[in-house]
């Protein structure tokens, strides 16, 4: 089978990380992200990692060419030779363009803003045991109280409607040029992400096998 190099993107609420991990597991390739690549470079103390650390310690976002070099390095490591699923919640066009010489297929998880917002704003976290609940899809028996441990639930500030709307508009802004470029290049595969991750992965795996 051909080497599978996939870049997976999806809006907040699309469970992009989980889909990436399951898809990579099924394909027998590694799953990694921009954040993973940056963190592992910093941990390894490589020259790139030290440069990244200088920006992070100064509270600045590292320059995109440095991030791109870090991602290229990560995806050039021996465990990625057989393929990879590189996922990103906030795709960065210059970073993806830097991967074009390697070649990849872009996979988009399609989820409307209204559904993403419904998923995100309904999330509640148990402050005792950390269990994740959802007011519609996995509610507790008593409103605001964890079924497992009886602790109170938290509605995180990141999941408030205004914060969610801000995240979603940032995703649309960043992903628009990415989608346009790879749609035009014929290397975009879009999949309906309103379903559970295992169903998404089953469909994707089938479509990739036929492509």
> What dihedral do alpha carbons 82, 96, 201, 13 form, nearest 10°?
140
Q: Does 26 bind Zn ion (CB under 5 A)?
A: no
Nearest of 31, 19, 22, 17 to residue 85 by alpha carbon: 31
Three-state DSSP at 133 gives: strand
Choose the stretch contacting Zn ion; rule: CB under 5 A; options: 22-30, 142-150, 162-170, 181-189: 142-150
Among 110, 129, 154, 185, contact with Zn ion (rule: CB under 5 A): 129
From 151, 174, 194, 202, residue interacting with Zn ion (rule: CB under 5 A): 151
Contact with Zn ion (CB under 5 A) among 19, 34, 106, 146: 146
Residue 140 binds Zn ion (CB under 5 A): no
Query: Locate tokens 């993107």: which residue?
Result: 9
DSSP 84-121: EEEEESS--HHHHHHTTTT--EEEEEE--HHHHHHHHH
Q: How many residues bind Zn ion (CB under 5 A)?
A: 8
Which one, 94 or 152, has the nearer CB to Zn ion? 152
Kindly tell me which of 46 and 151 has the beta carbon lying closer to Zn ion: 151
According to the annotation, is 126 in a ligand binding site? yes
List 44, 102, 110, 149, residue binding Zn ion (CB under 5 A): 149
CB contact set of 124 (below 8 Å; sequence gap of 6+): 132, 133, 134, 135, 140, 144, 153, 154, 155
Stretch that binds Zn ion, among 9-17, 80-88, 120-128, 162-170 (CB under 5 A): 120-128
Nearest CA to 119 out of 174, 197, 52 is that of 197
Q: Which residues are bridge partners to 87 per DSSP?
A: 8, 33
For Zn ion, the binding residues in 68-87 under the rule CB under 5 A are: none
Any known ligand binding at 195? yes
Q: How far apart (Å, rounded) are the C-alpha atoms in residues 99 and 72?
A: 7
Annotated binding site: 32, 123, 126, 129, 146, 149, 156, 195
Annotated binding site for AMP: 32, 156
Give contact residues for Zn ion (rule: CB under 5 A).
126, 128-129, 131, 146, 148-149, 151
């Amino acid at each position: 089978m051909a080497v599978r190099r996939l870049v997976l993107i999806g809006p907040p609420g699309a469970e992009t990380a989980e889909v990436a991990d399951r898809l990579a597991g099924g394909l027998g390739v590694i799953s990694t992200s921009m954040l993973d690549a940056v963190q592992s470079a910093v941990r390894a103390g490589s020259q790139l990692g030290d440069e990244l650390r200088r920006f992070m310690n100064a509270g600045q976002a590292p320059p995109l060419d440095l991030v791109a070099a870090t991602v290229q390095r990560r995806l050039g490591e021996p465990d990625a030779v057989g393929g990879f699923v590189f996922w990103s919640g906030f795709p960065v066009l210059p970073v993806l363009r830097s991967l074009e010489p390697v070649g990849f297929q872009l996979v988009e998880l399609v989820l409307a803003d209204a559904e993403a917002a419904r998923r995100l704003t309904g999330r509640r976290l148990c402050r005792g045991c950390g269990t994740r609940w959802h007011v519609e899809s996995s509610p507790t028996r008593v409103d605001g109280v964890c079924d497992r441990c009886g602790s109170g639930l938290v509605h995180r500030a990141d999941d408030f409607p205004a914060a969610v709307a801000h995240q979603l508009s940032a995703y649309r802004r960043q992903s628009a040029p990415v989608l346009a470029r790879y749609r035009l290049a014929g290397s975009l595969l879009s999949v309906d992400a309103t379903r559970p991750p295992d169903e998404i992965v089953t469909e994707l795996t089938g479509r990739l096998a036929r492509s």
